[in-house]
Amino acid sequence: MSQNKLHVRSGDRVKVISGNYRGATGQILRTIPDERRVVVDSVNMRKRHQQPTRENPDGGIVSFEAPIDVSNVMLICPHCDEPSRTGTRVDADGTKERICKRCDNPIPKSEA
């Protein structure tokens, strides 16, 4: 059984609740369940100074998002539009769904 399941998926809108980017919102671009980290659009930008290569003869500065810890983000519920805790509910037909603990609505998968 996997202990690595995260409370957010790629495509989710999240709010950053701690760290340098506290208060920022963005979409999850990528999840790294093994490290319990996520990459959020425009959050935790890093710059890499790159030596000129054959593909990129001028070199220069490349910006990219560095992963942040998944515990630093909260899912923004699409129903109440607030950062919310999530839970899991099992439907009568046996399907599991993520629910918002604030408004009790199911949160759809929002695959990017």
Query: Which residues would be at the binding site for Zn ion (CB under 5 A)?
Result: 77, 79-80, 100, 102-103
CA angle, corner 65, sides to 64 and 71, nearest 5? 170
Q: How far is the CB of 12 from Zn ion (least distance, A)?
A: 13
Return the number of the residue (13 or 39) whose C-beta is nearest Zn ion: 13
Nearer to Zn ion, 9 or 79 (CB): 79
Q: Which CB atom, from 38 or from 76, has the smaller least distance to Zn ion?
A: 76
Q: Is 97 exposed, middle or buried (0-12, 13-18, 19+ CB in 10 A)?
A: middle
Least CB distance from residue 28 to Zn ion, whole Å? 17
Other beta carbons within 10 angstroms of residue 25's beta carbon come to: 17
Q: Please say whether the dihedral angle defined by the alpha carbons of residues 26, 15, 86 and 18, taken in this order, is positive or negative.
A: positive
Provide the minimum distance between the beta carbon of 13 and Zn ion in the complex, in angstroms, as a whole number.
12
